[in-house]
Structure formats: structure tokens, C-alpha cells
Structure 1
Amino acid sequence: MIRNYFKIAWRNIMKHKVFSLINVIGLTIGLSASFIIGLMIYYDYTFDDFHKDGERIYRVVTEFTDPEEKYYNAGITLALKDAIEDNSNFEIVSEFYIERPSKAVNIQNDITLKWPEFVIFADQNYLDIFQYNFLAGNKTEALKNPNQVVLTQTRAEEYFPKLLPSEIVGKTLVYNDSINVKVTGVVENYKQRTDIVFKEFVSHATLLQTNRKRDITKRYWFNTNSNSQLYVKFKEKADLSSVQKLLDDLALEHTDEDDIKYGESRKFKLQPLSDIHFNEDYGTYDWEKAQASKPLLRNLALVALFLLVLGCINFINLNTAQASQRAKEIGIRKTLGSSRKQLIVQFMGEAFILVLISAALSLLLSKWLIDVFSDFVPDGLSYQLFKSPILIFGVVILLVLVTFLSGFYPALVLSKYNAVSVMKNQISAAEQKVGLRKFLTVFQFAIAQVFIIATLLVGKQINYLLTKDMGFKTDAIVSVFHPRAEQEFSKKLLFAEKLKIIPEIKQVSIGGKGPASNSINSTNVTYTNGKNIAKSEMQYISGDLNYANLFELQLLDGRLYRNDTIRELVINETLLHSLGFSNPAEAIGKLVETNNKRIPIVGVMADFNQRSLKSEIKPMALTGDWYRPDFSLYQAVHVSFHNETSEHLKSTLSKIENAYQQVYNETDDYRVEFMDDTIAKFYNREQKISKLLNWSTGLSILISCLGLLGLVIYTTNRRVKEIGVRKVLGASLLQINTLICKEFLILVAIAFFIAAPIAYYGINNWLQDFSYKIGISFWVFLASGFAMILFALIVISAKTLQAANANPVNSLRSE
């Protein structure tokens, strides 16, 4: 009997090919989006879920508050561990320090790794919190003593190729030409997804042989370093609230008097291991990978849900609209003894076949969609994840749910017909469901309208962000960074001089990072006018005497510093007002105090945006290279060009690289950044949202218009005799088209009036994240409304004009 159900279901699907195709397309789009987005959600939410007792592992982080805003630091003060490690709520307390050596050498085989990534100085407890599979070595002794190192398998293969793990244990590595360490263990790399990406574990006691010795031995309460990390593992029945109270008390006890005076505070927070992957405030350990975002995943899930619902609505609309065409079939089945239950199973079977076809197509499309959504898809996500039992189970549940949502209500409607009424041609059930179809059509087009309005406004905001004047020159400027380990300032000067003789280069400046960057260097500054004391945070950028000219920073009053090693400040307008000055001239010559030194203000520059336009301009100063010859703040040579065309630029960049290789011929650490690319990176997430909305808009319009096309086909087929009569009586094509279009265009207009306030509310909330934003233009709403009406009109007219052009003799020939 089941076989017979599916055979008849397949025949009915093939009999109504157009409606079946519309249903399949709608469901395929919805299921494809659901599969890919579900894959992404599963991928991100399963990071670090494999650690033993992972729910009891926390990182201790720091939150700073001042009267204006909050700041976050993933690190802690080194003094904190000693103050809390004896608390009875902890099973294990472990600290480690992230310190990247400039090079590590296997002297025996003459193998050197420059700036090896993911190196930490960890204590023995680290290996108890994070469990590794030891391929060689003794776990209990691996990091107990100074000058020991444990390597992951991949890192061990880089240092000691072709050796077995057991042969590597006992070998020696040399860090920075001075620190000799012995390999005491080789561990297997984590095979599961993790943000604990470290590959090299040096014993914590070895830090005393580095330039961090003073910090490690003194363990100051007032220094917070993001490289200093503290993890705790709680006992099973630990009281987390009492531990948080302990942390709050310690923060309060060790608050600086100046912090109290100026309303600043510090708190230590417990961050669950599962939160690290998503929390942008504190970040992950691999800075090159984009941080996962729960809000973005929620938005993606909503898009998938909406697209799936739109596909289900098409199914419900078209199947209930066709009910009258299947009335005789239902009447005959009931007369021959079919129960309502059997009919429901029959119609649900048809729905299930369509859903299975759509699912098969969706799985085939998923490989392609992973590439299309590459901006959203994490690097490690692959199609192979579909083999996961959890995902397979999820897909099955989704298919059953979609079958129920799309097929159950039409099955109830179709199975409800009275056999006697059908045989007497007295059927009206389909017509009684017109109200529901209208509601679902309005719902479809309301979603599409929201997507259109959001797409236009988000695109407008992003264009505004990318084109707004930042307050300094951003185009055709490139920054060439020096090798990380390079300390010789003479080489920086030599490189700059070589660049100056390249004819295509307009200006050259040696300095820190450019005016726009993600790097923050800051300190506190105070000014006393004899009566009042003003205190402010001061971010600073550094550059030589040509830095301001190259980036076209506007000087409002005063001058630049006389040379780039003298301690003089050029402050911005925001810092000017924070220190209590009313105008630039008033500040010139005044002394401010920072780091226990009194420094004169010699100039005032116009405000500019150093970071994303989401944030306000901060108090800032331009400084020279104060700490030479001990060390230099300058990291890069900044270059502007005479000719900005892409052809000339490519040639000039090649000359710049050649000059770099002549000066720094012993390194391959060549890094170049364009200033406009740096600014564009500020808005990666917004650009992802824009791309997401573009796709969502296109797909929602496609599904909605396909559903509308199906309803128009049904309507024109049902009214074919009416159209023939009107044509015989003299109605024009325009009149017939208007008659049929009017019914559907009213629904589209109603959808617009529902969508407009919803879209306004959502976009207005989104724009609140930006300090600089566009106004929400009324014309955008009108444009989206007209666009949707135009799409609908094209779809409706395509079919109605075809029906109106038909010869009325054919439609009126027989009853």
C-alpha cells in the first residue's frame, strides 16, 4: 500500500509540473540556506567542546571602566595568581605568558624558525587543565624545571624533520641566540576544533632568562598585560559567586588612588572556556582568523528560517489553490472506501517526495554555496562535516518538520471534501481558503520588502563609511613594515633614503603605524592650571618631521616638534578640550604631565578618525621617537605616490620591494599595507552583512515571485472563460490585465505598509552602533515599494497577457 501511495504521489507531481517545479525551487533555496547556515552554526558552537571538564575551565580577564566607557583586556596583572591560587574552590590554577621569540634554532641540523607562532611559557599545571596526548616524554615532569620545552607534533616536525617523537625528546633548541632549552615531550596536535592553538610550550621558569624577568619577579598589581594569561579549573561543586566576590575585593583593595580620584576602576572577570570563541571584547589567540560572532550567526539563522518559511508558504498556497482541481479524485477515493487518514497520508507523501527532491538538490548545491558564502564561512569548515551524526540527525528532523509544515495543512483541506458534494459539483473549500492565501502572500512580500529596504540602507551606510573624509590622506599611501626583530635605526634610514630616489614616489616618512590602525598606544596625561587638575587618556601616534605632511594632517596652531627625538606634543582638538583649554592658542606652550615627565604642547592638529567610524574620536597626540637610542617606536616607512594609476603602482611596488631586499637581505619578513585597505578592514562585518542582505533579498524576491506566478497561473486558468467573455464583449488587453493585476498588487501594497515600519525599526537600531551615520531617507522606502510592485507586475502581466491574448473561441467552446 505504501508503494502505491508513492506511485500515485509521483504521478500527481508529474501531472502538475509547473506547480511542482515552483515548490521544489522554493524549498531547495530554503533548505540549501538552512544546510549551509546550520553547518556554520554547528562548526562554531563545537569549538573546544572536547576538553575534559571543559564547563569547569575559565579564563580570568580584566575589565576597565572610566567615566566615559569600558575597556577590556584578555590578560591580568601577574600578582593575581599568587592571591587566589589557595582558594578552596579551585582544582587547578595555571598561568602562562605569550612570548614570541625572534628565532628558534636547532643548531645540530642548522634549522632556524624566525618568529615562530603560538609559543607560550607555561607552568606544569597547564598540562593538567588542557589534556594533550603525549607521543613521547613524561607529562608529570615536562614543564617543572627551567629550560624545558614541549612541542606539538607539527612543530616538532619543523624543528626535527624525519625524526620520531621518541628521538626528538632530549634534543636542544636555542631561542634568541641565548636561551638553551631541552625538548622534554612531544604531544599530538588537537584534532578537534579549538582556539587553544599553541604549538610550543616552554617551562614558565624560563621567563626569568628573558627581558620579562623584572615583571615576573616583581609581580606588580598595577600592570596588566594581555600576554599574561590565567586559567582556573573549578572543583565540581565550586561556588563561582564567592570566587567572583574574591576577585572584586582584590580589585578594590589594589585600586590606585588616582583611579579613585578620577572615577576609574578595574574588575577581574571569569570567562568560560566556551565564550572565548565568540567574545570579541577579549579575542582569541589566532589574530589572523576572524572572530566568530553570535549576532551574525543569529542573523544567518533568521535568514535561513525566512527563506524556508517562504518556500513552505509557496507549497501551502499552491496546494490549497489546486484543491478544487483534485476534488473529483478525492470524491472517488472516499466513495471507494478511503478514510480521511489515508488521504492525509497520501497527500503528505506527495509533500515528502517534493521535500526529498529539494533536499537532494540542496545537498548538491551546498558545495557551491560554501564558496559563495566564503566571507561568512570559517576557514576550517568543509563539506565533510555533513558526515557528522549530529548533523545527519538534524537534517532528518528538518526534513520531517518541513514536510509537516508545508504538507499537513493542504492535506487537511484536501481530505475534508464531502464526497456527495463533490459528485454534485458543489465544492467551495478552495474558495473558502482565499483569505489564508492572501495572508500568506502578504507575509511573503512583507519579508521581501524588509530585505529590500534593509539592503538599500545598509549599502548606503557602508558606502558612507568607506567614502567619508577621515581627516587625513588615505588614498595611494602604502606602509612598508620593517622586520620584527630589526633594531638598527640606521637600516630604517637607509631604506627610506633608497625610496626617496625612486621617481614615482612623492613623499617618504618613517614612523609608527599610520593614522588609521587597530593598534592602540595610550597613556594618561594630566594638566594643572594652578587651581584645577584635568586628567585624560591620551592615545598617541609617532612619526618623523614629514609624517604630518605625508598624511596631510591639518595643523590648527603652533608647530611640529623641532626634531623627532625631542619630547614635545602635538595634540588633537579632543584632547585640547579634555584638558580644559577653550582654543588652540591657549594650549601652546603649556606643560602636561605623563609618566612622571612634564612635556610641552607645541602644536594643535585637527581631529581625525584613527579607527572605525563606529567609535568617536579619542584624545590623541602626535609624538616623535622619544626612546631612541634605547629602542625605536618607528615600525614602518610610509610612502605616497605621484601617479596613482594601477599600472604605475604595480611597477613602483616592485621597486620598493627591491629596495627592501637590498637593505634587509637576510629576511623574508616583507609586509606591505595600503591605508585604504586598512580602513576597509574596519568594516568587514558590515560588508558581510551587506552581502548577506543582497543574497537574502534576491532569493526572497525569487521565491515570492515564483509563488505569485503560481497563484496567477491558477487564477487565470480558473477565470479563462471570464476572460474570454470580457474579450468578446470588447474589453482591451490593458483592461483585462488591470482587472487581474489589481487583486494581487493590493496585496503587495499591504505588504509594503507592514514591512516599512519593521525595516525602519531594525535599521535604526543597527545604526545606533555608529558614531557617524546616514539619515534614514524616505525615498529608500518608496524606491523599495515601487521595485517590489514592478517585480510583481512583471510576473503577473507575463501570464495574464498570455491568457488575454488567447482566442476566446477556444475558451468558450465547451462547458
Structure 2
Amino acid sequence: MKHKVFSLINVIGLTIGLSASFVIGLMIYYDYTFDTFHKDGDRIYRVVSDFKSPEGLSHNSGVTVAMEDAIKDNSNFEIVSGFYIDRPAKVENKEESIEIKWPKHVIYTDQDYFDIFKYKFLAGDEFNALSNPNTVVLTKDRASDYFPTLTPSAIVGKTLVYNDSLNITVTAIVENFKERTDFIFEEFISSPTALNTRIRGEFLNKNWNSTSDVSQLFVKVSTAANFDKIKQEFDVLAEKHLDEWSRAHNQSRQFSLQPISDIHFNEDYGIYDWSKGQASKSLLTNLGLVALFLLLLGCINFINLNTAQATQRAKEIGIRKTLGSSRKQLIGQFMGETLLLVLIAAILSLLLSKWLINVFSDFVPEGIDFELFKSPFILLNIVLLLIIVTFLSGFYPALVLSKFNPVSVLKNNLVSGEKKVGLRKFLTIFQFSIAQVFIIATLLVGKQINYLLNKDMGFKTDAIVSVYSPRAERQLEKKERYIQKLKAIPEIKQLSLGGAPPASFSTNTSTTTYNNGETKVQVEMQFIFGDINYFDLFELELLAGRIQRNDTIRELVINDAARKVYGFKNPEDAIGKTIDLDEEKIEIIGVMADFHQRSLKETINPMALRGDWYRERFSQFQSIHIAFQNTNEADLKTTLSKIEAAYGEIYSEIGDYRINFLDQTIAKFYNREQKISKLLNWATGLSILISCLGLLGLVIYTTNRRVKEIGVRKVLGASIFQINILLCKEFLVLIAIAFAVASPIAWYGIHNWLQDFAYKTSISFWVFLISGLAMIIFALLVISAKTLQAANTNPVKSLRSE
């Protein structure tokens, strides 16, 4: 209470560090506890597929449907169970006239699924629920959607109608997983039922050359499983069933086991609910480092200020020692004081955590709330953290304070040791180095994100939306009727029927071959699909040739990247040449300029624009692209409502309206980078605040010690500016050293981060210059606030005791 400013600085620094640690620790705990509750979870694996080709390595979380039968009798596996993910167009409870369109999280599976994943059965036969065709098991939540007025026991035996014709009996109700899990399935239909649906062919043909992420396979390995043998057997299967076309094109496949603990984090294979976003270990690591550094900054403030104050408490310590206090008792007292301040900071941090969870909403998964602080594990870790922080902050100052010699103290012969001053300087440099790294990183990451979002993609991206047809819609008739209605809306400038826009999360690829008479050139070609208006609507640039004459003619417009890979010297040379695609000769009629198909992390790949070649069997044209006359917000809102109303007139019974803005899709490419930028903004602001508070405390201490010196200098004619420079110089030297330390560290970190991008901004010298000047300005403001006050003090007051 005697040193309110210093105590307040210490509490603020520790509160910021502890608040960040609490919330970020909660996030790390949340993500690392997904699917840890499964019985024998360490023996449960997902079988995944990896594909190797001359173009590189690709991954798929699914396997061919044939894989399950091939490993069913393998002695290394205790249980083998596959499931197939699907979305029925409609499910009805006819008795109560309840209809749900496109229900999510529906799978076809077998009884073994419930032997691997232990659900709590609320009603029905736990051991034979999926033994027969046309049966389904529902979770409690899904059952309440279909049968809101019935108990689980009453629901068993009821019938649901799928897609207007398939009657399926409910055989059991299970409890939804209450723990954190990526297994979000709500509806489990028996596998034989699939033979009565549109996916019948997948289950009958069991084609080894067909792999999709909707076909999943899980195994529970035996306790004595030989993983080397499993790998060998998987490799034999992959080699045995590799088709001749893949061999000829130097392609291969590999099956491997993915632990369920890896599903939540591994972006190569993904999770089952993409709307929640994939957790990132690297992002959690970065968040953890931010919390650690902020906590260290708070601890450094504590050490610096308490050791700087040592001489002010010297007489108290001398008297205590004279009256018989031991060094051990004094250390205990000072550690107790530290613990008290840490506890005050901890209480404030808990109160701030609710607010911080909202601030970090871009990082915080939906399931995280303040209630998690009630977890015994979290509470135990908070206690351990407070003990560690108390020790880090208080132990060294307690040693320094308790070491004073009472005789020297009471004779006023106490002099601050050079070691303690040296430590304070080192810690101050460390503090400002961290703050400086954050400032430089923030500016450079912001520069890169600005570059990503504003770089020309090579096509028109603003004022364009795509409206997708219903998932079950395969015919063009309704789409054409919808286009006619859209043409009547005056605010619409242009329309095109096609597949995905030029840049999207969708990918369609095939291997093509060009024979120039001497060698064969193989190219993994990406395709976009569009009608004759697609090219103009997106303002793609034609380098040579022409676009296709109609929507179904077999012609290709390739991009310049494909032209180069095929070996044509200039765009005109490619016109009229033919390539092999799906055992057909396809003519190249045009060459378009390159554009970015994905984020700027990736290089521009060979790509071609094609029409709707197989329209008689299925149509690739699943979306209508719309360009607006203007982007006025009021007009845009009105136009969008008209577009949706027209959709409702055509698809009145389906209600599966999906619309995407192209510029928003492109922005989503950089979600993670924008999160990193926001994280750095907060880390920078907080680190500067903590560092400047610590600096303020040291400046207050220094100026208080030099009051008489300042008075003498003023009497001898020194100006306020000269005195201010004298007092600032020591601290500015430390900040300059911190800048010299931080610059190479920041450059190295950002240089490595930028390697993830195929297209990147430069690491400019001016960024370092601005960050250094910004830190000096912050420091000068803090230092001058106190030094000018001291310099303005009347010297008579500071010297009157002489």
C-alpha cells in the first residue's frame, strides 16, 4: 500500500499474462481432449489412402469400399467396421407429418461400428440393432427431431420414410456423446439398406480404383498387433489392386492407419464437420507462446521493480534482522507478499477471461465457455501455474532483499550492486526485444495479408455470386427456367451456367497426355466447367484462339501454365493440337491467361475450361453465376432478395438455397493468416503495454533516486531538455540494443513463415525502421512523462534538506 504505483504495475502485468494463459490454456485443453474418452481409444485407427504421382502426393481420408472385405479376417484386427456417409434428400415421419430435408450426419454402417465406438443405448437391442436391412439407429437428439412427443422406448419400432419410397424401421436410440468428439453422426442406417438406394453401385461393384472420403473404414487393432506386418499387408493389397493405367502413368497408392487422436488435427485427412474448422497444432503452439511471453513480461516487471525498490526497504530488513528474523523467514515473508499480488491478479484474470473468450472468438472453438474452468484438471493446472509464477516473480527479489547486511543498512552504507543493475538491464532488454519482435511480425504479416487480399487474381472477383442448384438436382430443365427468371431482374448484368467459379475449394482433375511425335507429356489437368458466357462473365483473358462454340462440344481452352508444360513455345502453337483425355482425342481451341485457382500459397497449376460434355448421364453445371450492374449496398440487398424469391418459385418443394459471394470465398482462403494477424495485433498491444508499464516503474524509481542530482544540475544552468536527454539516454540505449536483438529474430521467423506462400511480399527494410521508431516513440512518451515532471520541480524543494 505504501508503493501503490509499483503494486498496480505489477498487478496489471501479471493480470494480462495470467488472463491470456487461462484462456489460451483452456483452448489447448479443449482441442487436445477430443475423442480421448473412447474405451481402448489407443487401439482405434482410421484406414486412410495416400496417392503418389509425378505431380506430387495427395491424401484421402476414405478408402475403396472393397477394402473392408479384404482385411476383415486379418488377425491383427480385433474389429473392422466401415461406414458410408450420405445425405438423404428427405426423411418423413408420416404419422406426425414431420418432414426434414437434407438431414446431416447420416451414415450407412453395421453392428460392428457400435463395438468399436461405445454409445449408451437408451432403448432397443444393443447387440442386433443393425443386423437387418431397412433398420436405423438414431441418437437421442435426432430422434427428438423426428419424434418430438415420444420417449426413446416408444420410438423403437416406428417407421421413417426416406426419399419418398424407402421405409426404414427405428431399432434403437442411443445417447449423443457428451464428451468432445469429431464423431458427430446422428443417424446410423444398416449397410444392406444401401442396396435399395442410389449408392447401390458403390456397394455392389466394390471398385478398387474408386476412392472417396465418404467411404470410411475403422479398425480396432488387437493387443498383440504387429504394425510392421500390417504395413506390409497394406502395401501388398495396394500393389495387387493397382490398375494398369496407374502403373503406366507412374502413379501408386498406399494405405495407412491414422490414430483417432490424430483426426482432430490432421489437415491432410480432415474431420467430419468442416463447418467447425480443423484444429491446428501450429496455431495452438503459437497461442501458447504468446501466453508464455506475456506471462514472462509480467514476471520480469515484478523482478525489475522489486529489486529496484530494494534500497527503499533496506532499513525495514535491517531492523527485522536485528530483532532476530532469519533469512529464511524474510524470504517467506517476501514470497508471501508476491503470492498475495499473484492471487489478486489471478482473481482479476478470471473475471477478465469471460471477456477475453469473446475477444479471441476467431480462435476459440464454439464449445469453449467459462464453465470449463470448473474442470478439476483445469483448476489443478491454474494452481500449479500460480505457484510457478509466484516462484518466478518473487524468488530472486526475495533473495536480494533478505541478503542485506543489517550493520551496513543501519549505517546507510548500502550500495546497489552492479550485478543487480546488470540483471535489470538484461531483463529490460529481454522485455523490449519481445515487444519489438511482435511489432515487426505484426507489420510484416499485415503486409503479406494485404498483398494476398489485394493481388489481382487474374479474373473478376467483385460483384459476383454463385447460386447452387439443389444437391439432388441432375437435370438442366429447372436451371434453365431459373435463368429465364433471373434475366427478368434488371439489376443483373450477366449470367452464366457452369460448375465452380475460377477460384474455389472444389477441385476436378484428370491426367492428360500430349504426344508431340517424339515424347509423351503427361499433365495432371484441373478443370473448370462453364457455358459460352462463363469466359466473359469472369473476364478471363484469351491469349490465342477462341472459346468453345456451345456447351457440350468436346473442346478445351487451356491456361498458359498448361501450354508451357505441354511444351508449346507460344500460345498460337497450341491451337489445333489434340491431347488424350479419357481415351478420347480432344482439340485445344484456345489458350487463356493464367489466374489463381486457389490461395496464393499455391502455384498456378495446368487448367482447362470445358463444357458440359456428359450432360446425358450427369451434368457438371451445378451453379448459376451472377454478375451485378452495381454494388450499391441497398440495391444489392434488393437484388439478392429477388434472386432468392425466384429460386423459391422454381424449387418450391426443396428449399436447399445456397449462395456464395466470390470475394468472400477468396477471403476464406486466408482465414488462418487473418487469425494470426489478429493474434499478433493483440500480442503486440499487450506486450507494449506491459513493457512500457515496467519501463515507467523503472523511470519513476530512477528519477526519485536522482532528485537532488536534477536539482543541482538545474541550479548550475542545465535546461529541462538537457536534463530530459540525460535521464532518457540510459533507457533508450537499452531499447536500441533490444531492437538489434529482435530484428534478426523477427526476420528469421517471418522469412520461414513466408515460405508457405508461392506468391509473397518482400521483407522491406522500412518495416524494421518503422517498428524501431514506434518502440522508441512509445518509450520516449513513457520516460518523458516522468522525467519532465522531475525536471520541472523547483530545485529549492529537492535541495532544501542540504
1:788 is aligned to 2:782: no
Listed as ranges, the matches of 1:120-135 within 5 Å are 120-135=107-122
Q: Could you tell me which of 140, 164, 172 is aligned with 1:185?
A: 172
- Give the Å deviation of 1:44: 0.3
Match in the other structure for 2:159: 172
Match in the other structure for 1:530: 517
2: CA distance, partners of 1:537 / 1:94: 34
1: CA distance, partners of 2:225 / 2:739: 55
Q: Could you tell me which of 491, 494, 503 is aligned with 1:504?
A: 491
Listed as ranges, the matches of 1:351-750 within 5 Å are 351-429=338-416, 432-750=419-737
User: 8 Å contact 1:472–1:553 — kept in the other structure?
Assistant: yes
Q: Could you tell me which of 62, 65, 70 is aligned with 2:49?
A: 62
Listed as ranges, the matches of 1:796-807 within 5 Å are 796-807=783-794
Task: State the Cα deviation string for residues 264-319 of structure 1 (Å, max 9, x = none).
Answer: 22111111000000011111000111110000000000000000000000000000
2: CA distance, partners of 1:701 / 1:184: 62
Task: State the Cα deviation string for residues 763-798 of structure 1 (Å, max 9, x = none).
Answer: 000000000001110110011001101100110010
Match in the other structure for 1:7: none
Listed as ranges, the matches of 1:99-138 within 5 Å are 99-138=86-125
1:149 is aligned to 2:136: yes
User: 8 Å contact 2:720–2:792 — kept in the other structure?
Assistant: yes
1: CA distance, partners of 2:722 / 2:304: 26
1:196 is aligned to 2:152: no
Match in the other structure for 2:205: 218
Would you say how many aligned residue pairs link Structure 1 and Structure 2? 802
- Give the Å deviation of 1:208: 1.3
User: 8 Å contact 1:413–1:429 — kept in the other structure?
Assistant: no
Task: State the Cα deviation string for residues 449-492 of structure 1 (Å, max 9, x = none).
Answer: 00000000000000000000101000111111222223341211
- Give the Å deviation of 1:652: 1.5
Match in the other structure for 2:21: 34
Match in the other structure for 2:264: 277
Amino acid at match of 2:484: E
Corresponding residue SS for 2:490: coil
- Give the Å deviation of 1:607: 1.1
Comparing 367-376 and 100-109, the one that deviates more? 100-109
User: 8 Å contact 1:527–1:533 — kept in the other structure?
Assistant: yes
Match in the other structure for 1:763: 750
Comparing 336-345 and 265-274, the one that deviates more? 265-274
- Give the Å deviation of 1:581: 2.5
- Give the Å deviation of 1:432: 4.1
2: CA distance, partners of 1:331 / 1:60: 71
Amino acid at match of 2:684: T
Match in the other structure for 1:8: none
2: CA distance, partners of 1:797 / 1:322: 21
Comparing 34-43 and 418-427, the one that deviates more? 418-427
Amino acid at match of 2:324: G
User: 8 Å contact 2:498–2:622 — kept in the other structure?
Assistant: yes
User: 8 Å contact 2:55–2:524 — kept in the other structure?
Assistant: no
Amino acid at match of 1:810: K
- Give the Å deviation of 1:814: 0.9
Q: Could you tell me which of 288, 300, 304 is aligned with 2:291?
A: 304
2: CA distance, partners of 1:179 / 1:581: 55
Task: State the Cα deviation string for residues 313-355 of structure 1 (Å, max 9, x = none).
Answer: 0000000000000000000000000000000000001100100
Match in the other structure for 1:316: 303
Comparing 251-260 and 102-111, the one that deviates more? 251-260
2: CA distance, partners of 1:657 / 1:560: 31
Match in the other structure for 2:38: 51
User: 8 Å contact 1:568–1:602 — kept in the other structure?
Assistant: yes
Q: Structure 2 vs 1, CA of residues 628 and 68 (structure 1 numbering), >3 Å: closer, same or farther?
A: closer
Corresponding residue SS for 1:648: helix
- Give the Å deviation of 1:178: 2.5
User: Any gaps of 5 or more consecutive residues in structure 1?
Assistant: 1-13
- Give the Å deviation of 1:146: 1.2
1:17 is aligned to 2:10: no
Task: State the Cα deviation string for residues 601-648 of structure 1 (Å, max 9, x = none).
Answer: 221111111111101111111111122233221122111112122222
- Give the Å deviation of 1:596: 2.2
1: CA distance, partners of 2:677 / 2:705: 42
Amino acid at match of 1:669: D
- Give the Å deviation of 1:78: 1.8
2: CA distance, partners of 1:541 / 1:278: 30
Task: State the Cα deviation string for residues 466-521 of structure 1 (Å, max 9, x = none).
Answer: 00010100011111122222334121111112212222111111111111100111
Q: Could you tell me which of 84, 91, 94 is aligned with 1:97?
A: 84
1: CA distance, partners of 2:603 / 2:723: 58
Amino acid at match of 1:671: R
Comparing 258-267 and 319-328, the one that deviates more? 258-267
User: 8 Å contact 1:320–1:430 — kept in the other structure?
Assistant: no
Corresponding residue SS for 1:527: strand
2: CA distance, partners of 1:767 / 1:307: 25
Amino acid at match of 1:693: L
RMSD value over aligned CA atoms?
A: 1.2
2: CA distance, partners of 1:94 / 1:665: 39
Comparing 452-461 and 255-264, the one that deviates more? 255-264
Amino acid at match of 1:599: I
User: 8 Å contact 2:9–2:693 — kept in the other structure?
Assistant: yes
User: 8 Å contact 1:556–1:606 — kept in the other structure?
Assistant: yes
User: 8 Å contact 1:22–1:710 — kept in the other structure?
Assistant: yes
1: CA distance, partners of 2:500 / 2:393: 57
- Give the Å deviation of 1:431: 5.2
User: 8 Å contact 1:322–1:430 — kept in the other structure?
Assistant: no
Match in the other structure for 1:162: 149
Match in the other structure for 1:227: 214
User: 8 Å contact 1:320–1:433 — kept in the other structure?
Assistant: yes
TM-score, length basis structure 1: 0.97
- Give the Å deviation of 1:215: 2.3
Task: State the Cα deviation string for residues 214-246 of structure 1 (Å, max 9, x = none).
Answer: 221221221111111010101123222221222
1: CA distance, partners of 2:163 / 2:520: 46
- Give the Å deviation of 1:578: 2.5
- Give the Å deviation of 1:430: 5.3
Task: State the Cα deviation string for residues 641-694 of structure 1 (Å, max 9, x = none).
Answer: 121222221122122222222222223322221110000000000000000000
2: CA distance, partners of 1:598 / 1:209: 38
Corresponding residue SS for 1:15: coil
1: CA distance, partners of 2:723 / 2:112: 82
1:268 is aligned to 2:258: no
Task: State the Cα deviation string for residues 186-227 of structure 1 (Å, max 9, x = none).
Answer: 101110110000000001111111222222122122111111
